[in-house]
Amino acid sequence: MAGMTAATLTASIDPPPGEQASARRRGRPRFGRAAVLVIFGLYFAVPILASFLFTVDDPVKGFSLSAYSQIFSVAGLWPALRLSLELAVATIAVVYLLLIPAVVAVRLGGPRLRTFVELVCTLPLVVPSIALTAGITSVLRWGSDNMVPGQTTFIQQLLIDIQNPSFPVILLLAYVVMALPLAYRTLDAGMRALDVRTLLEAAQNNGAGRTRAIVTVILPNLRGALLNTAFLTLALVLGEFTVSSILGFVPFAVWIVNGNAAGQGPVTVAVSIVSLVLTWLLLLVLSAGGGRRGAAAPANQ
Amino acid sequence: MSTAAPATNDGAVAPRRRPGSLLRRAAAGRLAVVPLLLFVAVAFGIPAVAMAYGAFTTNTSSTPGTPSAFTSGNLSASLQGGYLTALIGSVKLSAMSALIGTVGGLLLAQAVVTSRFQALRHAVLSASGVLANFGGVPLAFAFIATLGNAGVLTTHLHLKDAGWSLYTFWGLNLVYLYFLVPLMVLSVLPSLDGLRRQWREAAQNNGATTWQYWRHVALPVLAPSLLGGFVLLFGTAFAAYATAAAMVGASVPLITLQIANALNGNVAADAGNVALAMSLDMVVIAVLVMAVYLPLQRRSARWLV
């Protein structure tokens, strides 16, 4: 919110027609800004464009879109993508269920609760995903190493069940842990813009229970932060490679790397570009929509 | 605990304003944190404890069920020879790319913040969200297609004759920056928005040059978020595995590649516990970096009040 106001202010003040006094001084940063934007624009655009050239470059015909048409027929892509999308939806759902009540509680509770929850949600940042994977493999190996044929204990059966390749719950657990730091910060920032206590008390004075107050009053006000969390989590799960590849599952990113190693170079690069651009467009639509609401708010006051 | 339950009921009951309800609400509020804590304890705590336990134990016999013996051998093995080289390589690469990423991200974010075009802001922010979170696989391929041995730019600009290779320290730096710069943009942008235009005008009215304004006003105010950004970037680069794994044949030794090799059983049989010890090394380094940052941040935050 504050960000939007500051940006709008700059936008309206920046080009003053009359003032000449500091024109020279202001001219320089503007040139610097253009240079920075051009350099970074090139840095971020060239690899994407070069990958596109790589995918359409055909040694015989010179130009061919066959890498893109193969996306619809290449073996293994759709099962892998479906697994990733299912995992993403499940991860988003679990993150919402765990974090929304917690963030509301943190807003209402004292500073000590707040520090504690913040610490817990930041913890996964200190344990890199590969270290988490190492821990997970040693837990899973403990299950299979101590297995006596014919007599599996409840815990061992559970450890086998969460590795079911058609929907590996173990990946869901890892992804939720990995999504926690960012999701917590996004939701907490969204919540900060609201006066949660007043909203909840108003709803409860009107007879709504806490759950209902959260669902019908708080959540609609959090729409932007909720959508942001969902899309960032989606991007994280779609691109996740470390945990899934070491544990031996084949979701989207692992399929891309395996396919590339198996000689399907152009198709896998094409899939990479398409997935990047699609996710970006989704997020762009979302941020443009959210921005318009955000920018409109100060004007109405 | 049972007294807290009615407070979460839906609104079938008439509005309650009894004195006890405030206390009950507070208790119910605390309880809402419990599922999160339980989840973290199971999904994060158990693997973390297993990792730390495995790092200090060894399985001397291969028969199942035998208790493992405590040892510090894994840790000392993880800090020797090739493993140590990989650890140092990771720290160097992360520090360098985080440093460049912090400066580059600050420049880009400042350019976006001062721009008149809202569309640019939306485009950069959403692209940053994707690149910072999507992970390294597509990025690695994009760079291989661009600057790899047979990449578009490499062949057209004859970079190979100039000694260029993507699979070196600086090549990996270049690839890492592709997701580190966006991460820095995301983390520093709110603070840049918080810089008041009046501060700059006040500095200019007092005759300060742009450099003096940045040196004495803006950078000190931004210091905590810049430091926080650097730590975040370092942690991300340090933990990065997908990029390096997808760029097969990179000659830069990295700790994440070593751990993955050991976990996949590509090396000696007992390397599993050494992998856990290396993971513990990584956690220790990450904690140290965090620990350096936290007191610094508190000190800088005091200046902001």
Instruction: Look at residue A15 in the predicted model and tell me its pLDDT.
Output: 37
Q: Residue B95: pLDDT above 70? A: yes
In chain A, which ranges are E strands?
A: 57-58, 62-63
Beta carbons of A276 and B134 less than 8 Å apart: yes
CA distance A80 to chain B (A): 15
- Please say if the pLDDT value at position A273 is more than 60: yes
Position with higher pLDDT, A281 vs B303: A281
Judge if B280 and B295 occupy the same domain: yes
Task: Provide mean pLDDT across the span B191-220.
Answer: 81
Cα of B111 vs its chain's centroid, Å = 24
What is the per-residue pLDDT for B103? 93
Q: What confidence tens digit (pLDDT) does each residue in A144-168 have? A: 766 666 666 777 777 777 777 778 8
- Most confident listed range (B7-11, B57-61, B221-225, B268-272): B221-225
- Winning range, highest mean pLDDT, from A87-91, A274-278, B19-23: A87-91
Cβ count within 10 A of residue A134: 31
In sign, the C-alpha dihedral spanning A101, A106, A107, A108 is positive
Which chain A residues are Cβ-neighbours of B36 within 8 angstroms?
A: 98-99, 101-102, 117, 120-121
Whether chain A has a CB inside 8 Å of the CB on B288: the answer is no
- CA–CA–CA angle B124, B119, A289 (5° rounding): 95
**B190 and B53 within one domain:** no
For B15, the domain range is 2-70
Residue A227: which residues within 8 A CB-CB, separation 6 or more? A286, A290
Give how far A278 is from chain B: nearest CA, Å.
10
State the average pLDDT over residues A236-258.
87
Contact B279, B259 (CB under 8 A): yes
Regarding whether B149 and B29 lie in a shared domain, the answer is: no
Inter-residue contact A106 to A113 (CB < 8 Å): yes
Q: What is the mean pLDDT of chain A?
A: 76
* Least confident residue range of A34-43, B99-108, B128-137, B262-271: B262-271
Residues B96 and B48 in one domain: no
Point out the residue among B43, B49, B142 whose CB comes nearest to the CB of A272.
Answer: B142
The helix (run of H) or strand (run of E) holding residue B69 is strand B69-70
The distance of A141 to chain B (nearest Cα, Å) reads 10
Helices (H) and strands (E) in chain B, counts: 15, 2
**% residues pLDDT > 90 (chain B):** 6
Same-domain status, B43 and B103: no
Give the number of A-B residue pairs with CB atoms closer than 8 Å. 322
Residue B119: what pLDDT? 81
Number of domains in chain B: 2
Per-residue pLDDT reduced to its tens digit, B161-170: 777 777 888 8
Minimal-distance CA residue of chain A relative to B180: A44
Percent residues over pLDDT 70 in chain A: 79
Of B12, B28, B49, the CB nearest to A210: B28
Are residue B107 and residue B18 in the same domain, yes or no?
no
ipTM, two decimals: 0.78
Examine the pLDDT at B66 and tell me if it is beyond 80: no
Both tokens of residue A63? 């130009």
User: What pLDDT is recorded for position B296?
Assistant: 63
B114 with A29: Cβ contact below 8 A = yes
Position with higher pLDDT, B172 vs A27: B172
Listed by number, the residues of chain A in 239-258 with a beta carbon closer than 8 Å to a beta carbon of chain B are 239-242, 245-246, 253, 256-257
- B38 or A269, higher pLDDT: B38
> What stretches of B148-168 show up as alpha helix (H) in DSSP?
152-156
Average pLDDT (A261-270) is: 75
Quote the pLDDT of residue B23: 54
Q: How do B69-70 and B57-58 pair as beta strands? A: antiparallel
Tell which of B20, B37, B70 closes a domain: B70
Confidence label for B25 from pLDDT (cuts 50, 70 and 90): low
Question: How far lies A282's CA from each of A124, A255, A288, B180, in Å?
Answer: 27, 23, 10, 21
User: Which of A212-226, B18-32, B279-293 has the weakest average pLDDT?
Assistant: B18-32
Per-residue pLDDT at B263 exceeds 50:
yes
Tell me: pLDDT of A20 over 50: no
* Amino acid letter, residue B214: W
Residue B74 near residue B274 (C-beta atoms within 8 A):
yes
Contacts of A253 (CB under 8 A, 6+ apart): A84, A238, A239, A240, A241, A244, A245, B135, B137, B242
Question: Measured between CB atoms, does B202 come within 8 Å of chain A?
Answer: no
User: Where is average pLDDT lowest: A176-185, A218-227, B1-10?
Assistant: B1-10
CB of A120 within 8 Å of a chain B CB? The answer is: yes
- Mean pLDDT, residues A104-113: 80
Nearest chain A residue to B114 by CA distance is A10
Are residues B96 and B234 both part of a single domain?
A: yes
Amino acid identity, position B212? Q
Would you tell me how many other CB atoms lie within 10 Å of the CB of residue A109?
Answer: 18
- Of B25, B40, B70, which residue is a domain's last? B70
Residue A93: the pLDDT is: 94
For residue B60, what pLDDT is reported?
54
pLDDT at residue B195 tops 80? no
B270's tokens: 């007992």
Question: What are the DSSP calls for B34-65, one per residue?
Answer: HHHHHHIIIIIIHHHHHHHHHHTEE--S-STT
* B120-129 per-residue burial string, b: 16 or more CB within 10 A, e: under 16: ebbbbbbbbb
Give which of A28, A119, A126, A227 to mutate to test B binding, by max B Cβ within 10 Å.
A126
Residues 93-112 of A with CB under 8 A from B: 94, 97-99, 101-102, 104-106, 108-109
**pLDDT value at residue B297:** 60
Q: What is the CATH number of the domain that holds B183?
A: 1.10.3720.10
Instruction: State how far the Cα of B27 lies from the Cα of B21, in Å rounded to an integer.
Output: 10
Question: Is the per-residue pLDDT at B34 higher than 60?
Answer: yes
| B83 shares a domain with B27 | no
The answer to whether the CB atoms of B30 and A109 lie below 8 A apart is: yes
Q: Please state the pTM of the whole predicted model.
A: 0.79
Of A162-166, B123-127, B202-206, least confident by mean pLDDT is A162-166
Q: Under an 8 A CB cutoff, do A7 and B121 touch? A: yes
Mean pLDDT across the stretch A55-76?
Answer: 74
Q: Same domain for B211 and B281?
A: yes
More confident residue, A146 or B15: A146
pLDDT on residue A103 = 86
Select the more confidently predicted residue: B277 or A177. Answer: A177
Q: Is the pLDDT of residue A283 over 80?
A: no
- Please report the pLDDT score of residue A177 as a whole number: 93
Candidates B107, B238, B275; nearest CB to A36? B107
Which of A9, A36, A130, A249 should be substituted to probe chain B, the one whose Cβ sees the most B Cβ atoms within 10 Å? Answer: A130
Cα separation of A236 and A279, whole Å?
A: 11
The mean per-residue pLDDT over the stretch B112-136 comes to 80
Q: Name the pLDDT band for A175 (thresholds 50, 70, 90).
A: very high
Residue B150 has pLDDT above 80, yes or no: no
For residues B182 and B244, state if they share a domain.
Answer: yes
| Cβ atoms of B242 and A242 closer than 8 Å | yes
The reply to whether residue A207 touches residue B283, judged by beta carbons under 8 angstroms, is: no
Is some CB atom of chain B closer than 8 A to the CB atom of A140? Answer: no
Greatest distance between any 2 Cα atoms in chain B: 82
Q: Is the pLDDT of residue A111 over 90?
A: no
A284: pLDDT strictly greater than 70: yes
Provide the pLDDT for residue B29. 64
Instruction: For residues B66 and B83, state if they share a domain.
Output: no
Task: Choose the final residue of a domain: B48, B70, B92.
Answer: B70
Nearest CA distance, B13 vs chain A (angstrom): 7
> Do the beta carbons of residue A130 and residue A244 sit within 8 Å?
no
Instruction: Clarify whether residues B44 and B178 are in a common domain.
Output: no
Place A95 in a pLDDT band, splitting at 50, 70 and 90: very high
